[in-house]
Amino acid sequence: MAEAQIVGWAHSKFGKSEAPSTRELMAEVINPALAHAGIRAQDVDGIFVGVYNNGFSKQDFQGALVAMAADGFDHTPAVRLENACATGSAALYSALDFIAAGRGRIALVVGAEKMTALPTSQTGDILLTASFRQEEANVEGGFAGLFGRIAGTYFQRYGDRSEELAMIAAKNHHNGMSNPYAHMQRDFSVEFCNTVSDKNPYVAAPLRRTDCSLVSDGAACLVIADAEVAAGMQRAIAFRARKHVNDILALSRRDPTAFDGARRAWSGALQGAGLSLNDLDLVETHDCFTIAELIEYEAMGLARPGEGYKVVREGLARKDGRLPINPSGGLKSKGHPIGATGVSMHVMAAMQLSGEAGDMQIPKAAIAGVFNMGGAAVANYVSILERAK
């Protein structure tokens, strides 16, 4: 059976929102997504919600909030998924499986998170629930501290790549200037990103503030339909392949600089699609920290281990480069509301393939890759998308 296809979407502005909870954030995207797909709430057979929560709100049972956020879903089956920073992709892949199993023909995927209502210290502690707390809960700097350790280990092994991390940050902020949904639409120079200052201090050395994604509120929504239904829709973005690979949670039990689960996910997805990286027109990748994007270059096969800096130096990942990476600005500029991120990344790629990306548009984009990960490359999702209609 052919994979279900993306037939509509909607995306809220990411940032510090006045919306008091995920319910109101969901309300911003559900009806616009239905309208974009040209369907009604009554046409939806199943709802799949991605919200991490884990302490951001005392209100849980998030799957049930869709019917509280939009009319017409009172009796539609709904379920909530959680898989750390890959929560949105977990919801999407479950919806795809739902349709592939023949349990429904149209599904709604909603990702949302309200993160900014809590003090920074509390937010940091909540994010550490995506680590192996038995060993990693006391890392100074929270989750940034974990990636600071990864960066430090990488630098010890391959050399200091602080300037290349600054180049990644500057690239993604420059791209984010063209994204109307981005949390931070500010252009930062490589020099600013590479200089430790009062405005750009160390968060978890060697990572500076500009190396870290933003704590954000936001929501994104996808409508997916089986291939037969999608054929009658205005637009359809197909999954040429998708792959989910896990790696061990504890960093002490693997090479933290290898992102082996990500490598396996990329390899499996490209093999399933019958493609190579040279066939892709763009990639949206999970730059929760700039060191993550650097290592992901190596995991996807753009460079050998320790040589991801060449991708940056040679401009391969720039918007005008051989393989534009994060033309949306990525998590670094767009923001990272945990449950919304995976859904958002697929929305950004679908917009490119349908020619609806506005100022972000990569000319003649036909095939896109999406990499979303949960934790420190623990839950790894790779989608290869192409325009079907």
Question: What is the rounded average pLDDT of the residues 245-263?
Answer: 98
pLDDT band at 270 (very low <50, low <70, confident <90, very high): very high
What's the mean per-residue pLDDT of the chain? Answer: 97
pLDDT over 80 at 324, yes or no: yes
Confidence of residue 300 (pLDDT cuts 50, 70, 90): very high
Instruction: Judge whether 244 and 94 are in contact, CB under 8 Å.
Output: no
Is pLDDT of 3 > 90? no
Is the pLDDT reported for residue 137 higher than 60?
yes
- Which of 129-143, 182-196, 365-379 has the least mean pLDDT? 129-143
pLDDT confidence of residue 140: 85
CATH number of the domain that residue 345 is part of: 3.40.47.10
Q: Is the dihedral of CA 351, 111, 240, 36 positive or negative?
A: negative
Mean pLDDT of 7-14: 98
CA distance 220 to 172: 20
Nearest to residue 374, comparing CAs of 174, 87, 122, 141? 87
CA atoms within 13 A on the CB side of 108: 35
Residue 1: its pLDDT value, please?
Answer: 53
**Confidence (pLDDT) at 134:** 95
Q: Where in the sequence numbering do the catalytic residues fall?
A: 85, 336
What pLDDT is stored for residue 337 in this prediction? 98
Q: Look-up: residue for tokens 């969901």?
A: 26
Beta bridge partners of 387: 237
Stretch 303-314: mean pLDDT: 98
Region of poorest pLDDT, from 60-64, 123-127, 276-280: 123-127
Q: What is the 3-state secondary structure (H, E, C) of the chain?
A: CCCCEEEEEEECCCECCCCCCHHHHHHCCHHHHHHHHCCCHHHCCEEEEECCCCCCCCCCCHHHHHHHHCCCCCCCCEEEECECECHHHHHHHHHHHHHHCCCCCEEEEEEEECCCCCCHHHHHHHHHHHCCHHHHCCCCCHHHHHHHHHHHHHHHHHCCCHHHHHHHHHHHHHHHCCCCCCCCCCCCCHHHHCCCCCCCCEEECCEEHHHECCCCEEEEEEEEECHHHHCCCCCCEEEEEEEEEECCCCHHHCCCCCCHHHHHHHHHHHHHHCCCHHHCCEEECCCCEHHHHHHHHHHHCCCCCCCHHHHHHCCCCCCCCCCCECCCCHHHHHCCCHHHHHHHHHHHHHHHHCCCCHHHCCCCCCEEEEEEEECCCCEEEEEEEEECC
Would you say residue 386 has pLDDT above 70?
yes
Query: What pTM did the predictor assign?
Result: 0.98
Q: Among residues of the chain, what percentage have pLDDT more than 70?
A: 99
Portion of the chain with pLDDT greater than 90, in percent: 97
| pLDDT at residue 296 tops 90 | yes
Containing structural domain, residue 274: 1-389
| Mean pLDDT for the stretch of residues 158-182 | 98
Total count of domains within the chain:
1
With 0-12 / 13-18 / 19 or more C-beta atoms within 10 angstroms meaning exposed / middle / buried, residue 8 is: buried
Q: Does residue 65 have a pLDDT over 80?
A: yes
Mean pLDDT value of segment 120-128: 93
Task: List, for residues 84-99, the tens digit of each pLDDT value.
Answer: 999 999 999 999 999 9
Q: pLDDT (tens digit, 9 = 90+) per residue, 227-242?
A: 999 999 999 999 999 9
User: Residue 131: its pLDDT value, please?
Assistant: 96
Neighbours of 186 (CB within 10 A): 11
Please report which confidence band the pLDDT of residue 142 belongs to, taking 50, 70 and 90 as the band edges.
Answer: confident
